[in-house]
Amino acid sequence: MNQALHHNDGHDSATSSLQRLIADSVERLFNDQVTPQVLTQFDSGLPADALWQQLVEHGLPQALVAPVSDDNTASWLDVSPVLRGVGYWQAPVPLSETLLAGMLLSRAGIEVPEGALTVLQAGAATALELTASGVLNGRCANVPWARSCRWAAVADDNGRVALVDLRQAQVSVEAGTNFAGEERDVLQFTAAPVDALGTLQLADIREPVRVFGALVRACMLVGALESCLDQAVAYANERVQFGKAIGAFQAIQQQLAHMAGAISAARTATEVALYSANQVMQAAPGSASSLAFDVAVAKVCAGEAASLATSVAHQVHGAIGFTQEHRLHFATRRVWSWRDEFGSDAHWAQVLGQAAIAAGSEGFWAGLTARSL
C-alpha cells in the first residue's frame, strides 16, 4: 500500500478517518486513470480530460473552498493525500493549482468559478502589480497551466486577492513547459481589469501564493519521491546479477536506505507545515503564524531529497531507467521540475539564513524555537 497516502499523521480520529477515506478514493481513482498510456499521450500533447472529469465528479478540485458552514470543512491535512497522490501517480492535471486558487478566492469572499484555475503572485518582489482599483500590470513567468485555465487567482503582499480572466485582450500568453511537459507559461498584463477583488481572511502570510504554492509542491514532491523509491526497491528485488537480486548487495541497500531517510525527513517536515497551514485556516485574520518558516523547511528538505533520490533511483535502474519505455522518468522529470517551483530549496534556505542573521546571536534561539521568520 502506498505509504504516502496512508501515513499515520497522529491527529484526531475523525479527521484521520476523513483522510483515510480520501486516500482510499484517490488511490483507486489514480490507479485506474493515470496509466503509462495516459502519461505518454500527455507527453505527445493530448490533455488528460477524462482524468480531470473524474476528479470533478469526485469533488476534489473544490475541496479547499471555504463552505457556508464548518460542518464539511476540509483541512490541509485532509487534502494532503490528494496532493501526494498527484505526485505519486504523476497526474498531469492542474489539480493542486485549482485547490489553492479555490482556497484563496473563497477566503477573500469571491465566488469560485467552475473549471481549472491557476494562481499568480503579485507584489513588490514580483514583476506583477495589482492596483488598489483592481487592475493588473506587468509580467509573470512560469505560470502553471495558464493555457488550460480561463481564470486565475491573484494575491499580493497587501492581503488583496483578485479573480482575473486570462482570456481577455489585455492578457497575452507566451507558451512554455517544464521538464515534464506541463504548461509553464509567461503572462503579460497590460492594464487588465480584474473581475472581483477581496481581502484575504487568513493569518498574516506575506506572499500567500508563493508560501502555499511551496507547500503544495512539497506535498507533491514527497509523493513523487515515494514513487521513485517504490520503483527502485521493486527493481532491485527483481533484477538479478551474479546469481542474486541486486537488492541483496550491501552497496545497493545502503543507497536505498539513504534515499528512504531523505524522503522520510521531507515527509515529516511537510506534515509539520500542513499542521501550520491548518492553524492558519483557523486563526483570526492578521494573526502571527509559523507557516512561512515551516514551509521553508519543508521545501528545503524536499528539494534536497529530490537531488539524492532521483540520482539513486536512476543508478539502481541502470540504463533502463533512462528509456522512454520505463515509467521512472515520469516521476523524475516532475521531481526535477517541481523542486524549483514556488521557490527552490536554495531560495528557501536563503530565506531561513537571512532570518537567522537578522535575528542575531541573541534572537536566534528564540526565533528558531518559535519557528518565526
Nearest residue to 224 (alpha-carbon basis) of 75, 355, 83: 83
pLDDT tens digits along 190-229: 999 999 999 999 988 989 999 999 999 999 999 999 999 9
d(CA 271, CA 81): 11
pLDDT tens track for 292-315: 999 999 999 999 999 999 999 999
Other CB atoms within a 10 A radius of the CB of residue 287 amount to 12
Residue pair 341/144 in contact by the 8 Å Cβ criterion: yes
d(C-alpha 140, C-alpha 287), whole Å: 29
**Beta strand 151-155 pairing with 117-121:** parallel
State the chain's mean pLDDT as an integer: 92
pLDDT value of residue 325: 85
* Residue corresponding to grid cell 479555490: 102
> Please, are residues 285 and 202 in contact by the beta-carbon 8 Å criterion?
yes
Nearest-angstrom CA–CA distance, 80 and 96: 10
Class of domain 208-370: mainly alpha
Strand order of the β-sheet with 184-193 is 128-130, 135-144, 184-193, 171-174
- What does the block give as the cell for 104? 484563496
Residues 6 or more apart whose Cβ sits within 8 Å of residue 254: none
Q: Are strands 196-199 and 151-155 parallel, antiparallel or unpaired?
A: unpaired
Q: Under a CB-based contact definition with an 8 Å cutoff, are residues 175 and 184 in contact?
A: no
What pLDDT sits at residue 370? 83
Residue 12 has pLDDT above 70, yes or no: no
Q: Which tens digits make up the pLDDT trace of 106-136?
A: 999 999 999 999 999 999 899 999 999 999 9
Alpha-carbon distances, residue 140 vs 208, 276, 310 (angstroms): 16, 28, 29
Domain limits, the chain: 208-370
Q: Cα(211)–Cα(61) distance, rounded to whole angstroms? A: 19
- The answer to whether residue 288 scores a pLDDT higher than 90 is no
pLDDT(8) > 70: no
* pLDDT(13) > 80: no
Q: Which three cell numbers stand for residue 172?
A: 497575452
Query: Residues 203, 94, 283, CA angle at the centre, nearest 5°?
Result: 10
At 365 the pLDDT is 86
d(CA 205, CA 187): 24
Residue 155 in contact with residue 209, Cβ under 8 Å?
A: yes
Q: How wide is the angle at C-alpha 69 spanned by C-alphas 68 and 75, nearest 5°?
A: 100
Residues 111 and 62: their CA atoms lie apart, in Å, by 12
Q: What is the pLDDT of residue 9?
A: 41
- Please report the pLDDT score of residue 10 as a whole number: 41
With a cut of 70, say whether residue 14 has pLDDT above it: no
DSSP at 66? P
Q: For residues 6 and 278, which has the higher predicted lDDT (pLDDT)?
A: 278
Give kind and range of the element (H or E) at residue 347.
helix 345-370
Give per-residue pLDDT as tens, 41-94.
999 999 999 999 999 999 999 999 987 555 566 889 999 999 999 999 999 999
Are 214 and 128 in contact by the 8 Å Cβ rule? The answer is no
pLDDT of residue 15: 53
pLDDT for res 1: 35
Calculate the dihedral angle through the C-alpha atoms of 210, 4, 222, 265, rounding to the nearest 10 degrees.
Answer: 110
pTM across the whole model: 0.93
Element (H, E) at 32: helix 13-33
Distance between CA atoms of residues 321 and 217, nearest Å: 24
Lowest-confidence pick of 9-18, 68-77, 326-335: 9-18
Q: What is the pLDDT of residue 7?
A: 44
All three cell numbers of 32, joined, read 485506474
CA-closest candidate to residue 201, choices 161, 170, 230, 174: 161
pLDDT, one tens digit per residue, over 226-285 is 999 999 999 999 998 899 999 999 999 999 999 999 999 999 999 999 999 999 988 888
pLDDT at 11 > cutoff 80: no
pLDDT at residue number 67: 75
- Rounded CA separation 132/27 (Å): 44
pLDDT of residue 16: 65
Q: Return the amino acid letter for 271.
A: E
The Cα 315–Cα 277 span in angstroms is 36
Please, which pLDDT band fits residue 2 given cuts at 50, 70 and 90? very low
Give the separation between CA 296 and CA 300, rounded to whole angstroms. Answer: 6
